[in-house]
Copies of this chain bind each other. A is one copy, B any other.
């Protein structure tokens, strides 16, 4: 079997690590250069002891890395750093970016939310939004894929079919989102210390999270006009997992059954997006470590409303897993290659 050689930029973060974890089990992948600024010179085992038995080269600085021979590069860098490195890569190298740098199509929106001008706008113009279940054909042809944020992935998989079909009221979408703490990354922050975040629940970035405009961009496309969603994230004392509770208003005459039928129809043959049987509640435990997204719809106590709930693993379907799913499409492999792992429970 021919192997495709991949590189990873930002290999010392959690998304980089999860990408390497999955890539190590991918039958068509050979792990090539791993780049990581502060950790250059260390082995993968030193940076991530759990990956100590993966065959991989010592980490290098991105600027000094030789990408020749690579078929694709994954980037797990933070925003800003991502665009700076990616624009310097060889032009024939296909890039799957897990940062926020190429998700927002409008550079001025990017500048407003990320606090710096976008300095790779030509790349931005060609980037394809990597929500696999909705942009598959474009992803297959893309040179640069911008993988969605973890929250947007969950929200969009839950709502896009409903919005496109006009089943819910586009101006009344309230998303109450919850994430495990790995979503904040491996950088040192007081609020992600165990003693601070354990045994407690806290909302954050209320009305001001950067995934808000990203969600708006995509739901507006589906709705056919500019809309805005309410979006309130919370930090939950678990390492992995993300759950979005979407409080929606039904369009006139529409029932909860119609919503379920729409999702069923959309995802019936999907490899990684699944409508649960009626009444079964999505829980993050049930997708941990896997690339699966699960969703269900419930009647609300308030007449005319419904609750659409989706769950995924923020580091897998919310990041590295979806990146690999996109890689499979880009290189003509079956979508599920290397992603067949069952969830880890308990």
Contacts and interface: CB of A to CB of B under 8 A. Distances in A.
B237 A236 contact: yes
Interface stretch (A2-10, A61-69, A182-190): A182-190
Interface in A195-214: 195-204, 206-208, 212
A280 B241 contact: no
Number of copies of chain A assembled together: 4
Contacts of A234: 178, 243, 245
A52 B203 contact: no
Contacts of A302: 171-172, 174, 228-230
A81 to B, nearest CB: 19
B49 A283 contact: yes
A136 interface: no
Nearest to A311: B201
Interface in A247-296: 247, 274, 276-277, 280-289, 292
B285 A176 contact: no
Contacts of A286: 49-50, 52, 200
Contact of A342 (B24, B171, B202, B307): B24
B301 A202 contact: no
A36 B181 CA distance: 28
A52 B295 CA distance: 13
Contacts of A48: 345
Interface residues of A, number: 90
A51 B288 CA distance: 11
A202 B192 CA distance: 19
- The interface residues of chain A, by DSSP majority, are classed as loop
A346 interface: yes
Contacts of A14: 195, 346
A63 to B, nearest CB: 24
A53 interface: yes
Contacts of A307: 203, 206-207, 230, 232
A193 B193 contact: yes
Given A21-B342, A228-B301, A346-B182, A189 B188 contact: yes
A198 B346 contact: yes
B239 A203 contact: no
Interface of A: 14, 17, 21, 24-25, 45, 48-54, 171-172, 174, 176, 178, 180-182, 184, 186, 188-190, 192-204, 206-208, 212, 228-232, 234, 236-241, 243, 245, 247, 274, 276-277, 280-289, 292, 298-303, 305, 307, 309, 311, 315, 340-346
